[in-house]
């Protein structure tokens, strides 16, 4: 999902009706994206299976399968989604999109723990190395 500031900036640069139509279509298309669609998109882009997502994110296979199929019994936990993001080597922007689509808050740089996780994402750290970094800074590890 695009940040509001980015959208405003793009909208301010729209100079004609054709550009406005393209802007509106892009916003509507992104708004309709589901967690399931996004998860499958990421898996296809990275050429990985559901089993790979579980293995890389260090999560239970049935839990990741429920998330991927968008059938969780409740909203997927933020830490679980962060584990998936780390396992898939997502960027901070891709992670924020994943978090938002799963009904969780995006990373917030003013929160120490979120900053450490963003750092880990930028450095392509895995879940275990990220947990070590969080622990080193006195923050709660991802579960």
Which of 29, 104, 35 minimizes the C-alpha distance to 71?
Answer: 35
Q: Classify domain 34-136 by CATH architecture.
A: Orthogonal Bundle (1.10)
pTM of the model: 0.78
Q: Where are the domains of the chain?
A: 1-32, 34-136
Using pLDDT thresholds of 50, 70 and 90, give the confidence band for residue 105. Answer: very high
How buried is residue 2: exposed, middle or buried, by Cβ count under 10 Å (0-12/13-18/19+)? middle
* Residue 81 near residue 98 (C-beta atoms within 8 A): yes
Q: Which of 63-77, 100-114, 122-136 has the lowest mean pLDDT?
A: 63-77
Query: Quick check: 98 pLDDT over 90?
Result: yes
pLDDT at position 1 is 45
């Amino acid at each position: 999902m695009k940040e509001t500031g980015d959208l405003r900036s793009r909208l301010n640069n729209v100079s004609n009706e054709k550009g406005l139509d393209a802007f509106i279509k892009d916003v509507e298309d992104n708004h309709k994206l589901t967690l399931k669609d996004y998860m499958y998109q990421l898996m296809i882009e990275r050429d990985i299976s559901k089993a790979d997502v579980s293995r890389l994110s260090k999560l239970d296979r049935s839990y990741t399968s429920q998330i991927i199929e968008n059938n969780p019994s409740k909203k997927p936990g933020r830490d679980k989604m962060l584990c998936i993001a780390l396992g898939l080597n997502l960027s901070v922007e891709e992670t924020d999109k994943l978090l938002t689509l799963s009904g969780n808050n995006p990373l917030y740089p003013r929160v120490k723990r979120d900053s450490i996780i963003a750092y880990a994402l930028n450095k392509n750290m895995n879940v275990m190395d990220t947990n070590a970094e969080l622990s080193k800074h006195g923050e709660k590890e991802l579960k």
